[in-house]
Amino acid sequence: MNPVVVVHGGGASNISKDRKERVRQGIIRAATVGYNILKEGGSAVDAVEGAVTVLEDDPEFNAGCGSVLNVNGEVEMDASIMNGKDLSSGAVSAVRCIANPIKLARLVMEKTPHCFLTDQGAAKFAADMGIPEVPEKQLITERNIKHLEKEKNEKSAQKTDQQKNLGTVGAVALDSEGNVAYATSTGGIVNKMAGRVGDTPCIGSGGYADNDIGAISTTGHGESILKVNLARLTLFHREQGKTLEEAADSSLGYMKSKLKGLGGVILINTAGDWAVKWTSASMPWAAAKDGKLHSGIDLDETSIADLP
C-alpha cells in the first residue's frame, strides 16, 4: 500500500497577500512531515498527529500557538483523533496552556477508557501524563489580539459571521498497512463565549476514520458542521456508492443549502484516492503521495512538485 497524507489549514474568507506564502509553506511543511513519518514505517495515526502538530506550532493557523481568542481574551482549544483500524478515538475540548492539544487527544485515546475529556479534567490528565504547561501568552499572537478587538468593535451587528469563523487544521492519512486515521485541531471562533465547543473534538463532525470507508477531517462553521454531522454524512454518501468528490460535494452542498454554513473537507479511502473540497472562499491544503506534493489555497489552483 502506497502511503498518502492530506492536510488542511482551515476554511478562510480571504487570506491576505502577505500571509499567503507563509500559509502555503506551513501547509507544505505539515504534509511533508506526515508523509515522511509514513515513509519511515509510521502508522496513519502517527502521521496525522505529526502533521497537525506542525500546524499547531505555526502561528499562521488557528490551532495551538495561533489560536483565536474567546470573549475574555483567552485561548481555549479543541482537538480529536481517530484510528480507522478499530475506531479508537480521543478528543479534548476547552483546553488551555498546552502547546499541542492533538497530542493530548491521542493520549486520551490510548491511555484512558474514554473518548473525550474536557476543561479541568483534561488539564489534570495532561499533568498526570507529564505534558508541560506553557504560559498562555506563548499561545497568543498580536494578530489575534487585534482580531478580537476588531470583532468586538463590529459586534453591534450581533450575529455569528459564518464567513469569518472557519479556522481549523486537520490531516488524514493512509499507511502502508492499509489503515486510515484523521486528526483535527482548532482554537475555535474569535470572540466565542467561554466554554464554547465546536465540531472539532466531536467524532463524526470534526472528523471520522473507518478502514471500511475512509477518513475525513472537516473545517468550517462549527455549529453548522455539528448540526449535519458533516464528517459522518460525507462518509455515508461514500457508503452509498458516491465517489470521494461526489460525497464531499453532496454533504457540503447540503450544509450550505440547509444552514448557509460554509466549510471544507479532506478525505481519503483505503485505495489511496483522496479529495479536497470546500465552499468557503479558500482552504489551504496539501497532499503527498507517490513522491509528489500537490497543494493549493484558492479554487482552481493546484501546484504539483516533487517531494524532497
Instruction: Consult the annotation and say whether 24 binds a ligand.
Output: no
Instruction: Consult the annotation and say whether 50 binds a ligand.
Output: no
Q: Which of 32, 141, 160, 168 is catalytic?
A: 168
Q: How far apart are CA 42 and CA 37, in angstroms?
A: 5
Instruction: Consult the annotation and say whether 199 binds a ligand.
Output: yes
Q: Is 302 considered catalytic here? A: no
Q: Exposed, middle or buried by CB within 10 Å (0-12, 13-18, 19+), for 134?
A: middle
Instruction: Consult the annotation and say whether 270 binds a ligand.
Output: no
Instruction: Consult the annotation and say whether 198 binds a ligand.
Output: yes
Amino acid at 112: T
Instruction: Consult the annotation and say whether 186 binds a ligand.
Output: no
Binding residues, as ranges, are 196-199, 219-222
By annotation, the residues acting in catalysis are 168
Binding residues for substrate, as ranges, are 196-199, 219-222
